[in-house]
Structure 1
């Protein structure tokens, strides 16, 4: 009878991990948390990326929520507006432990709604051999949009490769790619009052230049998303792409490449990039929300989080001990950190998918020449106001 009583007193904290396997280190971290929290056990369900977010949302909407789940931070506002998650407030000390602007990726209406668990920034990869073949200095990447265009034009003219890999496929990272241009020109989509400010001079310059890059890009940009472009870069068919740090270990051994901060627009105040995070969100209605918050913060504490980042090749969320050594050992990490200080968050919208689709349509309209940048930007700014 005693074992049965113990089982009845035990509470299971359910958790969904997106992907193919439990994140490296999590088995040990969870075991330690269970030892520190007697009476609670963690049950992790692994769900593939293609079904993960949909299942998490379906469970919450049906009133049978998972306790803790890995979600794209872009979804936090929608979950919060629908009263499906609980706040995960951070102390000032916790906020200060992150790199600048990271906490804004999980903040809505002044409240944090998740704990960042994965972070990506972008930098510019360039093929040194193609630069040299085109008569360019292989050690000098472009620092501005004008230099990017001019160098890409020279490569397109003097080699068999396209100068720049341009993404315009109906895919989420087409919007992300455009937002990198926004955040390297001191632009933003929403302001501190959550008002739409997409139709701005900075963003118009970004969209105009994005469309201009068609002239020096691979043929048919609407058929390509960023991973497709990585394959072209690996085959020396495009000379420059903007991608994340994980690509560094996926490039062919014989490829002669390097990486630099994203080129800057005329209004830039410093290096920039889109700051994308995924988060651990705590869902409402389980009865053990406090324990789930504690587990989320335990899994993502500075020591555990840095181990996770190193294992997965992700940009560090915090300037913890070990980051400087990591950059010293491999300087190609540096550009992915340089853009954080002037970077901007992925905007939070109640209907995020509608917002994303509107932004992709805008980019495609300009890339294909169906709309002027001015008209596309104005129309999209009016459209996305309904999705706040």
Structure 2
């Protein structure tokens, strides 16, 4: 009789355990890329242990399809709980009522480098949690500098020096002095924005006024077009990453790229990396600040848990591990950053530009904004329009995309 009771109790306990397991809420998440981010497997298990009754299911979606799939699911009323998105999409997702705010405390905001929180903020609220960050610096080929009679240890510090050195290299060596991006691709806009933020310019101010056609930006576009004469042939055929192989093959002397390129440069190449050259109106080193974010989608019923998971995955300790693993610019000045720069000084230029950098502008129709900016750049690079005319046209166009 006792054995029967014990057996029945065991069966009941097993059944209740199975029922509890079946009742676990699944927090769905989409990560863009090829594999789960390094460290996330362990971080997620830790979060699940801290949040009994919740399990995380991650789907990996390739970069080319990722953003479209996330948006399509949300628009169809079957949203994923948490997703990796380009921060540039946040305003459009919010205006479409597809995501919820992920508020930050003052302490959380203060933990980031300057202007980082601005990349996910509009209407006074944060709409995503920064998860990846990139800045740019100037890579130069020291051997080509030397061959052209230039000091191989001294990169250009201003736009004028950049142009003059690129011109000298092209004339003396027959090699393109600078890699210019002008392809119909998103990073053509990004590359131009580096010129905006190294000349104290903006695209849209805090009150929502379009400032693209400012004197600083006309100056930036003028110089961007001028660089065509000292760059590779046919810059409209090249996006940013297609210039890296040219740099590796010593076919261009200078390119502007992110920190991940440091480990992709040809080992036989004699190269250096320094801050982006500055325009006449610059107040100090600058760069475009691009972030990707974890966005919490509306309508799952567990938005609060998805937001908690997003902050857990990106807390200072976890985030810095992720950044070191993937070669990304750190989002926060955590203690390990100083140690990282000391161990590898080539990191320094990617951090120096942050204080005077600017965020990627947030527009409701970010693709239309992006296309208007690319058209503007291409019209000047191909000499089909004057910089002042092209920038006024673009400023009028993007007014409709705010």
For 2:341, the equivalent position in structure 1 comes to: 327
Aligned residue among 295, 305, 330 for 1:316 = 330
For 1:7, the equivalent position in structure 2 comes to: 21
Q: CA deviation at 1:4?
A: 3.8
Correspondences of 1:77-116 after superposition (within 5 Å): 77-116=91-130
For 2:246, the equivalent position in structure 1 comes to: 232
Q: Does 1:268 align with 2:282?
A: yes
For 1:384, the equivalent position in structure 2 comes to: 398
For 1:221, the equivalent position in structure 2 comes to: 235
For 1:146, the equivalent position in structure 2 comes to: 160
CA-based RMSD of the aligned residues comes to: 0.6
For 1:180, the equivalent position in structure 2 comes to: 194
For 1:76, the equivalent position in structure 2 comes to: 90
For 2:310, the equivalent position in structure 1 comes to: 296
For 2:70, the equivalent position in structure 1 comes to: 56
Q: CA deviation at 1:9?
A: 2.6
Distance (Å, rounded) in 1 between the aligned partners of 2:47 and 2:269: 44
Aligned residue among 343, 362, 366 for 2:357 = 343
Q: Does 1:27 align with 2:37?
A: no
Runs of 5+ unmatched residues, structure 2: 1-14
For 2:6, the equivalent position in structure 1 comes to: none
Q: CA deviation at 1:69?
A: 0.2
For 2:207, the equivalent position in structure 1 comes to: 193
Q: Does 1:42 align with 2:51?
A: no
Q: CA deviation at 1:7?
A: 2.9
| Deviations 1:315-351 (CA, angstroms, capped at 9, x unpaired) | 0000001100100110000000000000000000100
Distance (Å, rounded) in 1 between the aligned partners of 2:245 and 2:367: 27
Distance (Å, rounded) in 2 between the aligned partners of 1:225 and 1:36: 44
Distance (Å, rounded) in 1 between the aligned partners of 2:33 and 2:336: 27
Radius of gyration: which is bigger? 2
Aligned pair count?
388
**Any idea what SS the aligned residue of 2:335 has?**
coil
Distance (Å, rounded) in 2 between the aligned partners of 1:135 and 1:378: 40
Q: CA deviation at 1:110?
A: 1.0
| 8 Å CA contact 1:160, 1:237 repeated in 2 | no
Q: CA deviation at 1:195?
A: 1.4
Post-superposition, which runs of at least 4 consecutive aligned residues in structure 1 deviate over 3 A? none
TM (normalized to structure 2)?
A: 0.96
**Any idea what SS the aligned residue of 1:118 has?**
strand
Distance (Å, rounded) in 2 between the aligned partners of 1:297 and 1:75: 19
Aligned residue among 346, 358, 371 for 2:372 = 358
Distance (Å, rounded) in 2 between the aligned partners of 1:258 and 1:117: 28
| Deviations 1:181-201 (CA, angstroms, capped at 9, x unpaired) | 000000000001121110100
Correspondences of 1:243-254 after superposition (within 5 Å): 243-254=257-268
Aligned residue among 211, 214, 217 for 1:203 = 217
| Deviations 1:136-158 (CA, angstroms, capped at 9, x unpaired) | 00000000000000000000000
| Deviations 1:159-202 (CA, angstroms, capped at 9, x unpaired) | 02110000000000000000000000000000011211101000
Aligned residue among 122, 127, 131 for 2:136 = 122
Runs of 5+ unmatched residues, structure 1: none
Distance (Å, rounded) in 1 between the aligned partners of 2:123 and 2:302: 24
Q: CA deviation at 1:281?
A: 0.2
Distance (Å, rounded) in 2 between the aligned partners of 1:123 and 1:256: 17
Aligned residue among 175, 183, 194 for 1:169 = 183
**Any idea what SS the aligned residue of 1:27 has?**
helix
